[in-house]
């Protein structure tokens, strides 16, 4: 594994190794072995969790960290992304951690760039957010031991969600019973045979072991046929009463950022159930430590 671009390109032994490294880092039982390498954060879109946890992960591993500021860089003077990346490599960057709105960024630059820099996808458009899926997987394993045959329900703006796509790719590989709940205006076009789709919230959450709420990604669409926030709140917002009635023991997940009182009520978010969302954020650091460790142990750079 030279790059971490999407879950589809990873085999199960690589996923298992990342989970294992993350667990041992969390227990304080693994000594980092990649100190001195350099990671560069190149974020074309805003982020709190992913950026902060990648930065902290690299620091905890003893790596050097560069924060590339896209808006003040020489991209604004006409330098191409390819030339920028090749120059960053020349300066000493080993790992380039990129967040972008471009679904095809990694496929394009992995082929175009002529230096052996290692790419890490920190969220690409609507297509993939592999480290989010890995940290969600770790959180589920900690709570449930396995996802096999567990009903996992992903709710909300699935059409625009890279988190949903990466989770579905990963969870179906591990034989989870994956359900999606969305109104027609947030239903994805790329439906799969191994996922069950509902427009009714209760059908999706009934007896679920995991419910994963998603933010409405307003930045990814101008207008959608029939999309109406009030309709969404009325029919798809999660609250404690619904969970108590239909899936009392379910774990509540959300990749963040949460829009309070849209996809989840504040009372649910602030309840005991809502705390798992912060555990996800915490696991993000360990997963990203594991990813950096693994890429630098095996990478050629």
Residues that bind ligand CP (CB under 6 A): 47-50, 123, 132, 255-257
Task: Specify the residue, 48 or 244, whose C-beta has the smaller distance to ligand CP.
Answer: 48
> Minimum distance from CB of 48 to ligand CP (Å)?
4
User: What is the maximum alpha-carbon separation in the chain?
Assistant: 58
> Minimum distance from CB of 291 to ligand CP (Å)?
14
Task: Specify the residue, 17 or 132, whose C-beta has the smaller distance to ligand CP.
Answer: 132
Q: Which residues pair with 151 in a beta bridge?
A: 177
> Minimum distance from CB of 210 to ligand CP (Å)?
16
Q: Please say whether the dihedral angle defined by the alpha carbons of residues 269, 270, 274 and 276, taken in this order, is positive or negative.
A: positive
> Minimum distance from CB of 233 to ligand CP (Å)?
21
* Cα–Cα dist 1/289, whole Å: 15
> Minimum distance from CB of 98 to ligand CP (Å)?
13
Task: Specify the residue, 159 or 163, whose C-beta has the smaller distance to ligand CP.
Answer: 163
* Cα–Cα dist 156/181, whole Å: 6
Give buried/exposed letters for 163-194 (b at 16+ CB in 10 A, else e). bbbbbbbbbbbbebbbbbbbbebbbbeeeeee
Task: Specify the residue, 116 or 257, whose C-beta has the smaller distance to ligand CP.
Answer: 257
φ/ψ bin of 170: left (φ > 0), alpha (ψ from -120 to 50), beta (otherwise): alpha
Angle (CA) 108 187 238, round 5°: 115
* Cα–Cα dist 113/263, whole Å: 40
Task: Specify the residue, 188 or 255, whose C-beta has the smaller distance to ligand CP.
Answer: 255
Task: Specify the residue, 96 or 113, whose C-beta has the smaller distance to ligand CP.
Answer: 96
**Cβ–Cβ under 8 Å, residues 94 and 117:** yes
> Minimum distance from CB of 300 to ligand CP (Å)?
28
- Which H helix or E strand runs over 29? none
> Minimum distance from CB of 32 to ligand CP (Å)?
23
Task: Specify the residue, 62 or 257, whose C-beta has the smaller distance to ligand CP.
Answer: 257
> Nearest CA to 36 among 55, 52, 58?
58
């Amino acid at each position: 594994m030279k790059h971490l671009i999407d879950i589809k390109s990873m085999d199960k032994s690589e996923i298992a190794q990342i989970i294992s490294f993350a667990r041992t880092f969390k227990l304080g039982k693994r000594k980092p072995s990649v100190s001195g390498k350099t990671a560069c954060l190149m974020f074309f879109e805003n982020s709190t969790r992913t950026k902060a946890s990648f930065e902290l992960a690299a620091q905890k591993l003893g790596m050097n960290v560069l924060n590339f500021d896209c808006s003040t860089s020489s991209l604004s003077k006409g330098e191409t992304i390819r030339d920028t990346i090749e120059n960053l490599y020349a300066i000493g960057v080993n790992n380039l951690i990129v967040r972008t709105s471009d679904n095809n960024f990694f496929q394009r630059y992995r082929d175009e760039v002529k230096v052996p820099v290692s790419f890490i996808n920190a969220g690409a458009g609507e297509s993939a957010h592999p480290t989010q899926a890995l940290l969600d997987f770790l959180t589920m394993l900690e709570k449930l031991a396995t996802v096999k045959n567990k009903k996992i329900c992903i709710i909300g703006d699935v059409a625009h969600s890279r988190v949903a796509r990466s989770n579905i790719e990963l969870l179906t590989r591990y034989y989870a019973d994956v359900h999606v709940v969305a109104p027609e205006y947030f239903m994805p076009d790329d439906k799969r045979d191994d996922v069950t789709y509902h427009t009714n919230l209760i059908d999706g959450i009934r007896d679920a072991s995991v419910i994963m709420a998603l933010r409405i990604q307003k930045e990814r669409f101008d207008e959608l046929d029939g999309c109406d926030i009030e309709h969404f709140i009325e029919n798809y917002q999660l609250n404690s009463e619904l969970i108590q009635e239909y899936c009392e023991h379910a774990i509540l997940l959300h990749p963040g950022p949460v829009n309070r009182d849209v996809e989840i009520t504040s009372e649910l978010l602030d309840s005991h159930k809502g705390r798992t969302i912060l555990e996800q954020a915490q696991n993000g650091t360990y997963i990203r430590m594991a990813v950096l460790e693994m890429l630098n142990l095996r990478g050629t750079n």
